[in-house]
Amino acid sequence: MSVKDEVFKNALAGKKIPILTLDNKWHKIFDEIGATARIKSLEGKLNELVKRQGKAGSESKDVKKIKRKLMDEVVLIADGLVQNPDNKKLQKDREEHKRLIEECNTKLTQYEDDLIFLPREIDSVNRQLMIETMELCYKKIQENERELSYINDWIKNIRRELKKNMVRKQEKEEANYKLYSYMHDIFGAEVLEVFDMKYDPEKMKKEKDADDKKAGEGRKKKKAGNVAPES
């Protein structure tokens, strides 16, 4: 048993655990992560034990009813033999009922043993299944934590790169605007058409100013909306 298994076992000590295979929430765990071969094996074993326990309880009740009926009939047969001791049929019925009652006793003894043994075995297998489930969930949580750590680091790096590129973008836009302005002042607008400039700094600046103004107005409206009215 691994150290983690021992920890899980100690955590479950003294606690009453519901039968896992009868709990729909337990089954949903494996919709997310899938069950191991060991878990499937324990699940099958547990289901079989639970089935045997249910069958033993049900059949024990049926046999007790049959035994009571046989014993009531034995009383009637005994009364008949008192009145007619040589009645062969009654003698045969008495022997047959005696045999059937002994057979019932044998079955009831077996059922009683099963109803003592099976709950213990069910609890043992159920705890093994719980430990295996906890182990699998623990591994999956650890795996997810590692992936989350990687994703968080990736997001942080992307944010840093985004900030850097935003600064670089602004610097490039300002440099283009200055160069465009210098050439416009020196050569004039007609000469600049020869460069076939796809990027128009003037147009981009106006669009940026308009976007900044719109964003500022949006923040003001949102702030005003969050202010609670005076009573």
d(CA 140, CA 32): 10
d(CA 48, CA 51): 5
Which residue in 135, 125, 136, 107 sits closest to 43, CA to CA? 125
Q: Provide the token pair at 39.
A: 């878990």
69-87: average pLDDT = 88
| Neighbouring C-alpha atoms within 13 Å toward the C-beta of 209 | 6
30-49: average pLDDT = 93
Q: Which is more confident, 154 or 185?
A: 154
| Neighbouring C-alpha atoms within 13 Å toward the C-beta of 46 | 21
**pLDDT above 90: residue 37:** yes
Which residue in 91, 93, 99 sits closest to 73, CA to CA? 93
Q: Encode pLDDT of 87-120 as tens digits.
A: 888 889 889 989 999 999 999 999 999 999 999 9
**pLDDT above 80: residue 121:** yes
pLDDT for residue 14: 65
Q: Do residues 79 and 120 touch, judged by C-beta distance below 8 A?
A: no
**pLDDT above 50: residue 3:** no
Three-class secondary structure of residue 196 per DSSP: coil
d(CA 69, CA 101): 10
**Every domain of the chain and the residues it spans:** 3-157, 160-220
d(CA 38, CA 34): 12
